[in-house]
Structure 1
Amino acid sequence: MKAPKFTKLFQSLVEMPERATFELLSDSEAFERTALKEHPTRPSYAALFQAKALAFLLFDFDDNRLLSPAPPWVPNVTHFSELEACAIASSNDGRLKSFVFDGSRLMHLLWTPTENALAWNIPQVIRDFIRANPVARVVIIAGGARDEGPLKNTASGFGLSDLEQRVLISTITTGSIRAAAESLNIAYGTARATLVQAARRLGQPNTPALVRTIVEASFGVFPDDAKSPTLFSEMLQITQRQAQLALLVVSGATRHEAASAMNISVPLVKKELELIYTNLQIESAAELSRIMVEVQALRAFARTTEGAPGFLDRAIEPARFAVRPSTNELIGWSDYGPASAKPILVVHSNWSCRAVPSELLVALQKRGWRPISIDRPGFGATSLGSSTPDNPFEQAVQDTLHVMDKLRIEKFAVIARAGSDFVRILKASAPQRVGAVVLVSPTLPTKVSRKRTGIMGTMKDVFQIDSLIELFFRIVCSQISLERVEMLTRAIVKGASVDEALCDNPQFIYDRFRAVRPFSTGNFLGGIYEQGVISRGDFAFPKIEVIDWVIMQGDDDNHNSLEDVKAHWSTILPQSTVINVKGGGRFLTSSHPQIIVDQLEAMTKRGTRKVNSARRIRRTHLEPQVDSRQVAPNQ
């Protein structure tokens, strides 16, 4: 099968970067017009789902269900018509249906002909089954809130206690706090107080908002624009006003707050809520939260995308969440463990998210380290927050320290692949908390990076035009697939022998895919802001003085030359060594992880010697004072 390509202009950058550079430098305004004309509107983005959040049922041309992999919670039907008969509401096109099967609570399905489903982001096992069998119809059922696995993983990822997890999950699966209390054989007051405590822990105003947060995260990462009243009105067959009210309620608004926001009376809010509950056959705002998220998930899943970002796997990508204290926005992070090991923050670049390369992860854990990685604001699962083009780092520092505080980690080492600008700000903001640091292939401002090789050289020139930074982020991120990531990576490293060999390793390509695919949700403004800092080169970084930092740079890196890295970073960190990794390319964290960890441990020892030396100096200074006091009475 022919590998999918990017859209025309970006594909030309991949295949013929020198020609694109010539066109850009010859007439930058014409190049910009061509680029913007090819992509005049914002592309649609995908949702990135947890592996067990959705169920897939397959039916043949005679409407018979085929025996395909499916979790136990899905309805036990033999024909699609049985599901249709249970429907209580359908979207305008009839593809999305809300139904109640065999007396169970409300569920949702989305169906499509097989040829459409193959263009969607469906699991490989389902895709293979479709190709091997006469499948006519694919049915996707939202089930994240009906399978305790994803819910429990998510609730624990937010740091909720065991009791909080059990009460919350039971409330979601039974539909009300009272039913949850009966199910768990605890008092209603205990259940209610437990949920109040859980909501407070996550910074949520009440139980409906808490349920929405947990259920939404249990599905995965959604695009930012997947929550419009029009969407819910059309898919749930409720009025636009009812959809707007429902969104307010599940976000935590009280009836009085909702009435004020909608400029209607409180009695009218009560009446509209009663109609919503009746139409959807539910009894509580908590259950409304679950339903809204399930519909949102199906809608996000069905959006047309140019790529297939795949599914999240908790075994490979241990998702954790924190909530910003002041705004209740989410921070996505991962703790690879073990908890007893030495903590190290692994910092991602501005063109990737928090997934740690497999080779580096193994090397760190074997040497007694505990890798922790955090999506910076506007990356992956972390909200943009207060980040701006002029200051994309302050919010990231706050998030990092907040996560480390939650983990009760006072001091931590750092490995950063290209994310060196952020690490400088982090060290300046919290000097006592940042330990030894290894900067791998560190960032260079475009104006001091003279190397122009292949597509990386072209992109440096392209990114001198502000509007094209966002444009090309959008182009790439709306078309992410494993095949395209491999194509782009091979173009980036062309001519660098060590990195070219890496590209023949499927695990390396998959690591790259995991690191960039969260951008497919459209949450990538952080990357754009940081690229702007690199391209402009005018950010006022504070001065830092360190002795336990080391810079590692490959001499076969297509992006930056060893000479430029030495010249730039030796000025910034005069007491730090720039190490030449001979033959090393752009991806040292995958090609040379052992050398990186060796340097990390050397810097850790160096920092320890510095502390011990300072202690000796302090003791030498203080001891004579103690001695003089001891001998004074005898004089």
Structure 2
Amino acid sequence: MPAASPVDPLLGDSPDALVAALARWIGDDGEARPQEQRLPAAMFGEAFAVGGLTAAAKWTAPDQLLVAAAALSDALHHGEIAAPPDHAALSFVAQDDAPPLIVLTVPLALAARWPPAAAWRRAHPDAAASHVLLAHRAMLPGSEGLVRAGRMLALTPRESRLLAALARTGDLRTAAAAEAIGYETARGAIKAALAKSGFARQGALVATALQLDAIDDPSPIHLGDHLQLAIGLSDRQVALARLIALGSTRDEAARRLGLGRETAKAELKILFQLVGVTSSVGLSVVAAQLGIAARLLAASDIGATDLAAASEPLRLISRSGDRAGRIAFADYGPKGRIPALHFHTATTSRYYPRSYIARLQELGLRPVMIDRPGYGFTDMIGGDYTPQAARDALDVADHLGAETFHVIARGGTMLLAELAAHHRDRIAHAVVLNPEPAPYDDARMAGIQGSYKRIFYTLPRKIGPLTRYLSAHLSDSVIERIASRMFGGSAADQRIFADPEVRRAYVYATRLAAIQGGVGLEALSIAELCGQPPPIADGGFITILSGEEDAMYRPEDSWPRLLAAWPGAGAQRIAGAGRLLHIQHPDLVAAALHEGSQKSRKPRQPGR
């Protein structure tokens, strides 16, 4: 009898089996066992230049940027590129007067696991290659620069190109010369980029931009043991390298590590020599490349970020006041309209199908999708989770210059309630889709839905381990299988989920929800377990829509407490709609926002 797969408990109807799996997976302290701490990753294939290597280390069907990189060709000629037959590997390629280039080589037999390598293989099925080589395009002369990261950080084309040149050279003066601009002009451009992005130092900005450009992972750079294995650095030198790469000054890093100033200065000098750089910016560039490679090599599964996601108008802004961290949101426009802020569910994130977004725009809306704290690219934050998430929403609206905004709450009912109670003047209209009931009111506890609900409702101490377990095992195929089972017998949901665009968007949104290890899901779940919507005087600006085929929640369980807290709110049951109500009926979503809840119409009571 074949051994059970680690993902089997995720797909079953038994909460006991899921709890037993967690007990096997976590230690006595509630933390994941080290061998299981491997999260999925998503990489942006267009960020990598790809080429095949023959058994004799010769190019076959390479990207021309690779061929033009003299240092890379020289390293291949001298046999300096690692190409083991049974696993992926990384190599340092030394360059004159520039930070080393880090490349990945993947055996052809493993190419299917690496989306850019798999795409190259499909495009060149007859190429006589033993390995596929991947290098970050932005690090190669002649590339278009850090396009995706530049868009996220709201950089101008000049700033984006200069940032890429700074990554390639490790020195602003040299980067200015490469871009044929004056040094003072370059200083001004980088100063503007630092101000926009909220970074204090060039190295931290460059490192983050490289990371954002290549993979969907906002977590701080993790160097793994590759620096120690490849160069022979000590633990202290690795710790120093990481702090410098993240933007600390030498003195700040020294204090953090308990080192004297002169000791840190001497260690940093040795570190520069060993790594092959001459500046802190150069060290940040190497650390960023290495962090990307380490993340991908350690991933339990690697998925692709498709072109629609890659061209997402994603922005990262700093939180207001003394609140630390950044907020991620995508403003699809058009400008001039009231923003319609989307609040995602507990297990997804800001990403939605482009066809849905386009339809909302046709219906007169301006979709703005936000990652809640601990989800996607929005940093986790301490304090009361729901009020902090509300402040994030207000920060986004303020950044857009919007005095008022609409709310489309697929999840986040308590978040809307917080805003309605304390910032009513900022909300124009709101629509709540398939709202969740209080745990003690939820009567839909059968099947796989009930399995997960029982853990969240009755075993709150298991939420943390469960979110980490989910994060470690969520491959694309597992996400699709869980979603299909969660939709249950809803013909409407199964029909819409069969659309490849919808399925890709759902998988990607779920991946984004997991990339921080589930910290957002854990905090949100605990905050909302006992949450009650604060009462307001007039809920006439709110409409509740529930699909009659929603397999997760019943309106008769979720409506009463909301209608009691929001007197005057409208409520409708939608026939032929399920969990994916927003995609099935975007016209109803838009109508609710344009018309309000039509206070004169009494809500249709559940069950009628």
Give the structure-2-normalised TM-score. Answer: 0.86
Q: Which amino acid in structure 2 is aligned with residue 43 of structure 1?
A: Q
Contact 2:148 2:311 in 1 (8 A): no
Deviations 1:238-278 (A, max 9, x none): 33322222222222222222222233332333333232333
Distance 1:97 1:184, change over 3 A: closer
**Contact 2:101–2:139 (8 Å) recurs in 1:** no
Q: Helix, strand or coil: the match of 2:414?
A: helix
Quote the Cα distance in structure 2 between the aligned partners of 1:12 and 1:260. 46
Q: What SS does the corresponding residue of 1:350 show, helix, strand or coil? A: coil
Deviations 1:480-521 (A, max 9, x none): 333222211211112112112223222221121121111342
What are the residue-to-residue correspondences of 1:391-430 with 2, within 5 Å?
391-430=384-423
Cα pair 1:230 1:240 within 8 Å, conserved: no
- Report the CA distance shift for 1:592/1:245 in structure 2 as closer, same or farther (over 3 A): same
Corresponding residue number in structure 1 for 2:102: 108
1:331 to 327, 333, 337: 327
Q: 1:206 to 1:88 in 2, by over 3 A?
A: farther
- Counterpart CA distance in 2 for 1:162 and 1:73 is 23
Q: 1:443 to 1:74 in 2, by over 3 A?
A: farther
Mapped pair 1:154 → 2:146 = no
Mark the CA change 1:79 to 1:550 in structure 2 (over 3 Å): closer, same or farther: closer
Do structure 1's residue 60 and structure 2's residue 54 form an aligned pair? yes
Relative distance call for 1:182 and 1:109 in structure 2 (3 A) is: closer
CA offset at residue 84 of structure 1? 6.7
1:244 aligns with 2:239: yes
Alignment length (residue pairs): 585
Aligned-residue CA RMSD (Å): 3.3
Percent pairwise identity:
23
Change (3 A) 1:7 1:55: farther
Report the Cα offset of residue 194 of structure 1. Answer: 4.0
Match of 2:11 among 5, 14, 34: 14
Quick one: distance in 2 between partners of 1:599 and 1:74? 56
Question: Counterparts of 1:114 and 1:399 in 2: how far apart (Å)?
Answer: 45
TM-superposed CA distance for 1:454, in Å, is 2.2
User: Matched residues in 2 for 1:103 and 1:201: separation?
Assistant: 29
Q: Which residue of 2 aligns with 1:551?
A: 544
Check the 8 A contact 2:342/2:409 in 1, yes or no: yes
Q: Which residue of 1 aligns with 2:507?
A: 513
- The answer to whether the 8 Å contact 2:540/2:597 transfers is no
Residue in structure 2 matched with residue 631 of structure 1 by the alignment:
none
- Amino acid in structure 2 at the alignment position of 1:566: W
Q: Which residue matches 2:254?
A: 259
Partner residue, 2:606: none
Check conservation: 1:151, 1:215, Cα contact below 8 A: yes
Q: Which runs of 5+ in 1 are unaligned?
A: 25-29, 608-635
Deviations 1:113-165 (A, max 9, x none): 33344344545413535866553223222334447546133223223456544
Bigger CA drift: 393-402 or 219-228? Answer: 219-228
Alpha-carbon contact 1:380-1:523 (below 8 Å) kept: no
C-alpha offsets along residues 200-232 of structure 1, whole Å, 9 cap, x if unaligned?
443322222222232222223337475257453
Aligned to 2:24: 37
* Alpha-carbon distance in structure 1 between the residues aligned to 2:136 and 2:156: 26
Unpaired runs of 5+ residues, structure 2, are: 28-32, 601-608
| Pairing 1:208–2:200 present | no
Is residue 554 of structure 2 the alignment partner of residue 561 of structure 1? yes
- 2:603 aligns with none
Secondary structure of residue in 2 paired with 1:321: strand
**Corresponding residue for residue 47 of structure 1:** 41
**Residues 295 and 435 (structure 1 numbering): CA distance in 2 closer, same or farther, change over 3 Å?**
same
Moved more, 243-252 or 289-298: 243-252
- Per the alignment, residue 452 of structure 1 pairs with 445
Q: Distance in 2 between matches of 1:302 and 1:290?
A: 18
What secondary structure sits across from 1:52 in the alignment? helix
Take 1:442 and 1:99, find their aligned partners in 2: how far apart are those partners?
A: 54
CA distance, structure 2, for counterparts of residue 184 and residue 142 of structure 1: 19
Query: Which stretch of the first structure deviates more once superposed, 373-382 or 351-360?
Result: 351-360
The answer on whether the counterparts of 1:440 and 1:588 sit within 8 Å (CA) in structure 2 is yes
Tell me if structure 2 keeps the 8 A contact 1:48–1:312: no
Q: Work out whether residues 54 and 140 of structure 1, in 8 Å CA contact, stay in contact via their aligned partners in 2.
A: yes
1:175 counterpart = 2:162? no
Task: Tell me, in whole angstroms, the C-alpha distance in 1 between the residues paired with 2:182 and 2:505.
Answer: 47
Q: Distance in 2 between matches of 1:188 and 1:81?
A: 31
Contact map agreement 1:351 1:516 (CA 8 A) in 2: yes
Query: What residue identity is the alignment partner of 2:350?
Result: R
Aligned to 2:493: 499
Higher alpha-carbon deviation: 34-43 or 490-499: 34-43
Provide the C-alpha distance between the structure 2 equivalents of 1:401 and 1:425, rounded to a whole number of angstroms: 12
CA shift, 1:412, in A, is 0.9
Structure 1: distance between partners of 2:3 and 2:379: 27
Counterpart for residue 630 of structure 1:
none
Q: Is the 8 A contact 2:339 2:397 kept in 1?
A: no
Q: How does 1:352-371 map to 2 (within 5 A)?
A: 352-371=348-367
| 8 Å CA contact retained: 1:89, 1:236 | no
Q: CA deviation at 1:587?
A: 1.1
**Pick aligned residue for 2:520 from 494, 516, 526:** 526
Following the alignment from structure 1 to structure 2, what is the Cα–Cα distance between the partners of residues 540 and 277? 55
Q: Secondary structure at 1:191's aligned position in 2? A: helix
Asked if residue 281 in structure 1 is aligned to residue 268 in structure 2, the reply is no
Which is worse superposed, 342-351 or 264-273?
A: 264-273
Q: Summarize deviations over 1:47-87 as a string: whole Å, max 9, x none.
A: 3323322233322334332215x362565689988427274
Amino acid at match of 1:136: S
Shift of 1:195: 2.8
Comparing 452-461 with 314-323, which one deviates more in the overlay?
314-323
The answer (yes or no) to whether the contact 1:222–1:521 under 8 Å persists in 2 is yes
1:454-493 to 2 correspondences below 5 Å = 454-463=447-456, 464-493=458-487
Residue 195 (structure 1) aligns with: 190
Contact 1:86 1:101 in 2 (8 A): no
Equivalents in 2 of 1:339, 1:481: separation in Å? 37
Q: Offset of 1:12 from its aligned partner?
A: 4.7
The correspondence for 2:591, drawn from 582, 598, 614, is: 598
User: For each residue in 1:337-389, what CA deviation from the matched residue of structure 2 results, as whole angstroms up to 9, or x when unmatched?
Assistant: 222333211111111010023443122110222111111111011111225xx
Contact kept in structure 2, 1:380 and 1:524, CA below 8 Å:
no
